[in-house]
Chains A and B, each alone.
Chain A
């Protein structure tokens, strides 16, 4: 069982018999008062989002989910197709299930597919992926100040903030868990 102090973004818990993931989390505590745990929960099957606030002392059942290693094959009308390389079984995930993770899928990428009652309901990508910058303002020469950033777009259409020295054509590393820029990859 989890307690309130285990709650954090990404934790998967069972609520009313269905797996839910904490989509947003904040710890709230009025001056010298009781701790409150504000959660935005996503039902992992229906995708519906709702708010709930818990108080210390409550406990949560971990979601009983199976994580299977699979390989990303391709995208077609049915959705994003993955294959278990041991038994060649295929599973399809919808765009809604993938969310922003769809931007980081690379052909033949090895991922973990989350399975509940035989149905694919989520994905865990490798922590880092390298993608090429397709759009970014040119570097203004002399702008070397640390901390300056600008918008950039990578292949697949994902947009993010990148440091000012990153230019179109560069290969950059992105943290798939946060969607944030990590570093420029030397080629």
Chain B
């Protein structure tokens, strides 16, 4: 035996070959998703991936591309289409978010987004139920040794109830101490959607920059997250279409961004100008890679994409 020299490093990439069945499954699932939406009269669109600016969000960092940015989500363009009278839209596209790299994150990942005029977040919860049931014949999923029953209806749990059930401190306390996200990630998420998928809903309005307030309760926004086996799969909401309120929220986020030392960005003015023409609508972003992880029983996101940054 001897230490190997560098030039003996292999012909062919064995790790890439290992992904063959997951990648075939990925292609099959993606096709089925398209069929699901086309059958429901949703129009598939493709909006530019490189845009002048994204919606300012304090915890999402876009990747610059020249003077513009790669989109972190197709949300702004999709809503401009809604405002122009397109009623049901979907898109499957790559999105980019700086520095997000972990067992469930890649800086380049794929989102499935769909938007529907006249709908609210409850309708989109139903869409999620129907989509997964359509993708999983038999409605039973085995993920990392656990059996998840997909039969509708799924569980629905408000954020404030989730805090009282699982968290070590109250939600108000967590918000004041700026520990809201940390408590959700470390204390709450691991319990969610274990035997049956779960919708966590009604987020504090300051945690939903683009969502509509709940009628009769201005502290809460009609936003939800879908969890399956502790995995956060989708984020949906009843869309805010009050342009003045949206501008205020963007300005608040932009101020918070600048306070952390990040370079100033202009607000997406064309989006804001057209927003008041947008009908009442709901929109949702679902992490396609994570959905494929669930359906292929993959522990890490790396297993369901051909190339990760470190392989390039």
Bound-complex Cα distance A127 to B21 (A): 29
Residue B31 CB within 8 A of the other chain = no
Residue A81 CB within 8 A of the other chain = no
Bound-complex Cα distance A108 to B12 (A): 30
Which of under 10, 10 to 19, 20 to 34, or 35 or more describes the interface residues of A? 35 or more
Residue A151 CB within 8 A of the other chain = no
Bound-complex Cα distance A152 to B101 (A): 31
Is A34 touching B182 in the complex (CB atoms < 8 A)? yes
Contacts of A27 in B (CB 8 A): 100-103, 105
Q: Flag B45-84 by CB within 8 Å of A: 1 or 0 each.
A: 0000000000001011000000000000000000000000
Contacts of A91 in B (CB 8 A): none
Main SS at interface, chain A? strand
Q: Flag A143-161 by CB within 8 Å of B: 1 or 0 each.
A: 0001101000001000000
Residue A128 CB within 8 A of the other chain = yes
Option from B8, B101, B102, B184 in Cβ contact (under 8 Å) with A30 = B184
Residue B218 CB within 8 A of the other chain = no
Residue B155 CB within 8 A of the other chain = no
Residue B312 CB within 8 A of the other chain = no
Option from A109, A147, A183 in Cβ contact (under 8 Å) with B20 = A147
Is B59 touching A34 in the complex (CB atoms < 8 A)? yes
Assuming the A-B contacts A30-B232, A155-B1, are A53 and B182 also in contact, with contact meaning beta carbons closer than 8 angstroms in the complex?
yes
Option from A32, A126, A149 in Cβ contact (under 8 Å) with B207 = A32
Is B181 touching A30 in the complex (CB atoms < 8 A)? yes
A59 nearest CB across to chain B (Å): 13
Contacts of B21 in A (CB 8 A): 147
Option from B17, B99, B225 in Cβ contact (under 8 Å) with A31 = B225
Is B181 touching A36 in the complex (CB atoms < 8 A)? yes
Residue A163 CB within 8 A of the other chain = yes
Contacts of A32 in B (CB 8 A): 57, 59-60, 207-209, 235
Is A128 touching B100 in the complex (CB atoms < 8 A)? no
Contacts of A55 in B (CB 8 A): 182
Residue B216 CB within 8 A of the other chain = no
Per CB-CB distance, the 10 closest pairs between chain A and chain B, nearest first, are A27-B102, A183-B10, A33-B181, A146-B17, A34-B181, A128-B4, A30-B184, A30-B185, A130-B4, A31-B235
| A interface residues with partner B (beta carbon < 8 Å) | 5, 25-36, 53, 55, 57, 106, 109-110, 126-132, 146-147, 149, 155, 163, 171, 173, 180-183, 185
Residue pairs across A and B with Cβ atoms less than 8 A apart, 21 shown, are: A28-B104, A29-B105, A30-B225, A32-B59, A35-B59, A35-B99, A57-B260, A106-B1, A128-B4, A128-B6, A129-B1, A130-B1, A130-B8, A132-B1, A147-B19, A147-B20, A173-B8, A183-B8, A183-B9, A183-B11, A183-B12
